[in-house]
Structure 1
Amino acid sequence: MSDILTITLNPAFDVSTSVGTVKPGPKLRCDEPRYDPGGGGVNVSRAISRLGGVSTAFVALGGQTGAMFHSLLDAEDFEVTQFDIEGNTRQSLAVIETSTSKQYRFQLPGPEWSPAQTARMLEHLRAHLSAGRVVVLSGSLPPGVPADIATTVNQLAVEAGAQLILDTSGAALAAAAGNPGPPFALLRMDGAEAAEVSGLKFATPAELADYGLDLIRKGAAERLVMSIGAKGTVGVSAQERFFCQPPKLETLSAIGAGDSMVAAIAMQLAQGASFPDAVRHGVAAAGSAVLTPATELCSKATAEEILGRVVTAEI
């Protein structure tokens, strides 16, 4: 059994392509498409493989697109545990406008889950939670799944002796910020998400760190990782407040940067690294990902090169 388990409840069959100009009306003749298995947890597992690590991916799949998705997973270098759902796995489309280098991203909704299907998923997942395992619940939630499902999954993980890293958005992130406990081992969000959830504005890393410490004191999480785009990433625990700043990099595509960051952090924590060192590796992996086009993820060699140029300072 691998030390890391990723969970993807709302995966997406990713299609990426490019076209000269995006405009309404006429048919747009796109370039040859690329197909990738997407969704937060799946991308974290893919990134872990690219960084030289091992994981198991727990993925909810269904229908014809689910079958195509699983065929793409067969080419990946990690173990897959499939949870069967009703309906077709959702699709997403990313289009680069070559005349401007702008990227357009379209996300389709997945099938709605019933309460019974959610209950079956939790029972199926329980068997994969074990003591000492690092569990990563990442990505959006399918329609019908309760916004606070991460709290339930975290409770199961804690009971099993595992630690849960959560990276989500929207209503699910708002619910996580109000988590009544036990605390998540680590909660990741970016500055814009923190502003949306809190209703506050954050002008500096220190202000973001203050908000993270407030969530820790309320019992939502033990550690917070909050990214401020290319500027860097704030790390907060009850004992530490720091800011990891990457070197200046030319961004080709931001897709996969957050997943690559979480992958590197999960790997380092599973290996017993300190929290600051884990975040430093995460920033380097994210930096590596933005240097790749379309839905490409991080590169181990590039991440290792960037790592030496990441500057960490106390807040």
Structure 2
Amino acid sequence: MTPILTITLNPALDLSTSTPSVQPGPKLRCSAPRIDPGGGGINVARAIRILGGEALALVALAGATGDRLAQALRAEGVGYSGIDAPGETRESIAVTDESTGKQFRFVLPGTPWPRSDMDRALSRIREITPKGALVVLSGSQPPGVPDRFAAEVQAALPPGARLILDTSGAALTAVVQDPVPGLAVLRMDDAEAEGLAGHPLPDRATSAAFAADLVARGVAETVIIARGAEGSVLADGTGRLFAPAPQVKVISAVGAGDTFVGAHVLALSRGAVREAALAMAVAAAAAACITPATELCRPEDVARFLPQTTPQALPDG
């Protein structure tokens, strides 16, 4: 199996709880919180472990909250390599309104990074990344980290290593406007894709066409666009695919995108063809939606959904 490294520069200690009703004014008495290690790359590594694989998570940790996050990683059996970060590791809070089932997510900012911390992270990436590894850079970037940091990560990788990027906001825009040479996979959701395209992408065909255009422009070898409950499209140099998503009652979508990436990368590391990898990813994302809070997926649910996610080829043009 190809080794996998995930990178999380802006992790969070995730707290999830519920209260009878969310309303302003009175104290809201909450249930006992569930505490999980969070952040894009961490969740990718967690999903890989749940699905029977292994990944090393490179995690920036700071302060007492960073210590608690590291403890949570050990409790889950996720292998990690910690690097010192400035300030204090952030927290995020998810609160479910029991009367409506709606979930409110509060995400705190990270501490700004000076250049010295970025250089230390790049040095560690050079040290611990095996040749030929699949490297996942996922989640938000700390304040102060340049939008083009993915290019610096790509340049730090050893020969044969392949970078998978799942980011958003200015970092995503920067990658599309000024492509990172050699980027293997770029994933985004439909809202992000529409923002980049500058117009609506109302169906799978238009999303696939936009993904194919990004591939043709050299943005990435493979571009994946998630279309929510409908499924996901994939475009690469050999054509376009669409994998339908199982229809499920969503309990919590927290971590579904990271679970998608984890399942996709794990399948690729095992030598799966693109159709099988996409099907596994869509099934895992659906499985993550039916678990509470930040629990991610269950292997039995992924296996149950997999027959419903068979990809179909989409026509070019």
Aligned partners of 2:24, 2:224: CA distance in 1, in Å? 40
Q: List per-residue Cα deviations over 1:41-81 (Å, max 9, x = no partner).
A: 00011110110001100000101110111111111223110
Is the aligned partner of 1:82 residue 2:69? no
Aligned partners of 1:113, 1:278: CA distance in 2, in Å? 35
Aligned partners of 1:178, 1:163: CA distance in 2, in Å? 20
* Partner secondary structure for residue 75 of structure 2: coil
The residue aligned with 1:96 is 96
* Partner secondary structure for residue 213 of structure 1: helix
* Partner secondary structure for residue 71 of structure 1: helix
Amino acid at match of 1:220: V
Q: List per-residue Cα deviations over 1:206-243 (Å, max 9, x = no partner).
A: 11111111111111100011111010100110112010
Amino acid at match of 1:79: G
Q: CA deviation at 1:272?
A: 1.2
The residue aligned with 1:208 is 207
Q: List per-residue Cα deviations over 1:230-284 (Å, max 9, x = no partner).
A: 1010011011201000221111110111111101100111111111210110000
Is the aligned partner of 1:59 residue 2:76? no
Is the aligned partner of 1:239 residue 2:238? yes
Q: CA deviation at 1:183?
A: 3.2
The residue aligned with 1:267 is 266
Asked if structure 2 preserves the Cα contact closer than 8 Å seen for 1:2 and 1:56, the reply is: no
TM norm structure 2 = 0.96
Asked if structure 2 preserves the Cα contact closer than 8 Å seen for 1:2 and 1:55, the reply is: no
Asked if structure 2 preserves the Cα contact closer than 8 Å seen for 1:246 and 1:311, the reply is: no
Amino acid at match of 2:74: D
The residue aligned with 2:17 is 17
Aligned partners of 1:89, 1:282: CA distance in 2, in Å? 29
Alignment of 1:164-179 (within 5 A): 164-179=163-178
Q: CA deviation at 1:311?
A: 3.3
* Partner secondary structure for residue 155 of structure 1: helix
Tell me: CA distance 1:164–1:196, structure 2 relative to 1, closer, same or farther (3 Å): same
Asked if structure 2 preserves the Cα contact closer than 8 Å seen for 1:179 and 1:219, the reply is: no
* Partner secondary structure for residue 127 of structure 1: helix
The residue aligned with 2:309 is 310
Is the aligned partner of 1:130 residue 2:130? yes
Q: List per-residue Cα deviations over 1:161-187 (Å, max 9, x = no partner).
A: 201111111111111212433131000
TM norm structure 1 = 0.97
Alignment of 1:103-142 (within 5 A): 103-142=103-142
Aligned partners of 2:39, 2:178: CA distance in 1, in Å? 23
Amino acid at match of 2:6: T
Tell me: CA distance 1:165–1:49, structure 2 relative to 1, closer, same or farther (3 Å): same
Asked if structure 2 preserves the Cα contact closer than 8 Å seen for 1:5 and 1:135, the reply is: yes
Asked if structure 1 preserves the Cα contact closer than 8 Å seen for 2:278 and 2:311, the reply is: no
Asked if structure 2 preserves the Cα contact closer than 8 Å seen for 1:129 and 1:160, the reply is: no
Question: What is the root-mean-square deviation in Å for CA atoms of aligned residues?
Answer: 1.3
* Partner secondary structure for residue 180 of structure 1: coil
Aligned length: 314
